[in-house]
Structure 1
Amino acid sequence: MAGARTRAPVVIVMNPRSGGGKMARYGLVPRAEGMGAQVWTTSVEEDAASLARNAVVEGAQVLGVAGGDGTVSAVAAVAADTGRPLVVVPSGTRNHFARDLGLDLRDPVRALDALVDGEPAQVDLGMLGSRVFINNVSFGVYADALLEPGYREDKPRAFAAVAPDYAKGRQWVEARVDTPWGTVEFPQVVLISNNPYHLATPRWLGRRFSLGTGQLGAIVLKRPAQAPPDLLRHLREELRQHKRGAGSAGDGGGAVIWSASHITLHGEGRHLDAGVDGEAVRLPLPVECGIQPGALRLLLPKDRPGTPPERAMRH
């Protein structure tokens, strides 16, 4: 474990396996320690959530996390539960949450500047029962792909293995979803996000311009013959066909899109496979999703790229 476990006001939990070893490649440990933080690294014996909780017990007043979205989600849950501000260092593969916070994904070291002169911010957290999610909960083709052996090493192969049954109408989500336009039985795909995704502009497809709306985003695909792995591009086509613009919500025939503070999936079975922030889980039915507005306190670096609307206002 990097860093001695002495009492310290700042502890950063780092996952050395995230992003193909970005922690080592960018020299995050010496940079963080040079700024006065302790670094505790995850291992087989100690996961990110356990390390974060131990850090709080040892007196940490600020928590940090360097890793992918799964690692960030685990530490964010502890930070929110204990009232500690969180510094996010994007050192995973996709870094969706860090991207939507406006952090610089090309240079994760820049996120450490928040330890010196961080700007406070508050964002919402999605809730899956008592479990936190920072990005989304997915059911259907994405969740099944996560369960495929070797998913992390070869994602296209994993999607190719599960997509045909969905595309041919032989596979679906064994549940029903209540929407403002009625109940959808056995949908092809269900995606519930911590704040709604932007879907109208191709360049910013799948971004969240705000993480503080206090609303979940919900997307349900109904049409059995059209459930390709590229969910968001499929949604853009649905929106184009039905002439729905940015921020609209409704039943477009193949896609149902809306925002709500609470979303429930019902079913006759006992469990449902899902992907939660990119991690495969099995959830008991019914599945209850909610949101905690402003539940997570953050420290963000002052000099950061920002989200697209922020950049547009700057220039």
Structure 2
Amino acid sequence: MPPAPDRQRPFFVVLNRRSGSGDAGATERTIRRTLDAVGHPYRLFCAKRPRQLGEMAKQAVAAARAQEGAVVVAGGDGTINAVVQAVLPAGLPLGVLPQGTFNFFGRCHGLPEGDAGAGMRGLLDAQETPVQVGMVNDRVFLVNASLGLYPELLERREQDKRRFGRHRLVALLSGLRALLGDYPDLRLSLCEDGQRQVRRSTTLVVGDNRLQLESIGIPEAAALGHGALVGIVLPPLARWRMILTAVRGLFGHLGDVEKVDSFAFTELEVALPRRRQLKLAIDGEIVRLPLPLRFRVAPQPLRLLVPRERQP
């Protein structure tokens, strides 16, 4: 049965009240006011704590399936990830209201950033766009999944955000401060499209967001969306070279650094000797997954609802 037209298809909205630096209560009121004004059917699922997101997403998916509706998520990249984890296997359309700090996913697809009213109005006259989704084991990722130094940076960043506020400048200064600490030295066994090699690394990042990879100067960004992901391996470096590499990445020249290895792939397996599980950062959230890690593109695309008039 074909989906109902957008103006008749009910919305089941999952709202993370802890996302971003704005007023989540104001976001909720804006969503209600916007949909009530046009008489569009909807139901809100509000998560007061991040650990409630998974259950809220499952409830929204079940309701959307029963009523031939669409799921809508309001939050940052981590919140969007949690909802996509439930939406993708259900094959439902998804609308996104970006409310986070960096909003790489929303910005990559031209979605209104931080303006819930404009976002909801756009979804009332949206069109479906298939979007590639990355997988690591059974977890989805939309922006990146990483191990090594990057998860340590994210943990430090979240601590500083809770102390100083959720702002991009706080995230930047926190990351640079973390570079002055100790670095992990990982001996990774990588099997890239059937070819195995052992690499020493402080960080492995697997990206699935063209905007983020282009912003740091990774030439393989163009391969995304065509059945491939992009891996970035950063080897052990002296502290001054690590800081210089980070600064070059901020100015969009990470791909020009001699020792940084970036490559496009369709499947990648990662193992570490004498390790059974590993800490990862997935779309900005810290998780632990069993080894080996298997990176690939999800077999089905995400049915993203995109406003007909996209943001630049």
Q: TM-score of the superposition, structure 2-length normalised?
A: 0.78
How many angstroms does 1:36 deviate by? 2.8
How many angstroms does 1:197 deviate by? 5.8
Residue matched to 1:159: 175
Partner of residue 130 from structure 1, selected from 122, 133, 138: 138
Partner of residue 34 from structure 2, selected from 23, 31, 36: 31
1:107-139: per-residue Cα shift (whole Å, max 9, x none)?
342221343211111111111111111111012
1:32-181 equivalence runs, <5 A: 32-34=35-37, 35-44=40-49, 47-58=52-63, 59-60=66-67, 61-105=69-113, 107-148=115-156, 150-153=159-162, 155-156=171-172, 158-160=174-176, 162-165=178-181, 171-179=184-192
Residue matched to 2:282: 276
Taking a change above 3 Å as real, the CA distance of residues 66 and 290 of structure 1, as seen in their structure-2 partners, is same
Runs of 5+ consecutive residues of structure 1 not aligned to the other structure: 1-7, 242-252, 307-315
Is the Cα contact below 8 Å between 2:269 and 2:293 reproduced in 1?
Answer: yes
d(CA) in 2 for partners of 1:41, 1:233: 37
Is the Cα contact below 8 Å between 1:136 and 1:192 reproduced in 2?
Answer: yes
**What is the count of residue pairs matched by the alignment?**
284
1:211-262: per-residue Cα shift (whole Å, max 9, x none)?
6222111111124223338377179545446xxxxxxxxxxx4011111111
Taking a change above 3 Å as real, the CA distance of residues 76 and 210 of structure 1, as seen in their structure-2 partners, is farther
Residue matched to 2:204: 190
d(CA) in 1 for partners of 2:154, 2:118: 31
1:273-305: per-residue Cα shift (whole Å, max 9, x none)?
211100011222211111125521011111122
The CA RMSD over aligned residues, in Å, is 3.2
Is the Cα contact below 8 Å between 2:31 and 2:117 reproduced in 1?
Answer: yes
Is the Cα contact below 8 Å between 1:140 and 1:189 reproduced in 2?
Answer: yes
- Higher share of residues assigned helix: 2
How many angstroms does 1:91 deviate by? 1.2
Residue matched to 2:4: none
Q: TM-score of the superposition, structure 1-length normalised?
A: 0.77
Partner SS state of residue 82, structure 2: helix
Is the Cα contact below 8 Å between 1:196 and 1:217 reproduced in 2?
Answer: no
**What percentage of residue pairs aligned between the two structures are identical?**
26
d(CA) in 1 for partners of 2:211, 2:262: 10
Partner SS state of residue 20, structure 2: helix
Residue matched to 2:303: 297
Taking a change above 3 Å as real, the CA distance of residues 200 and 79 of structure 1, as seen in their structure-2 partners, is closer
Taking a change above 3 Å as real, the CA distance of residues 218 and 232 of structure 1, as seen in their structure-2 partners, is farther
d(CA) in 1 for partners of 2:214, 2:224: 18
Taking a change above 3 Å as real, the CA distance of residues 290 and 179 of structure 1, as seen in their structure-2 partners, is closer
Taking a change above 3 Å as real, the CA distance of residues 300 and 233 of structure 1, as seen in their structure-2 partners, is same
Runs of 5+ consecutive residues of structure 2 not aligned to the other structure: 1-8, 163-169
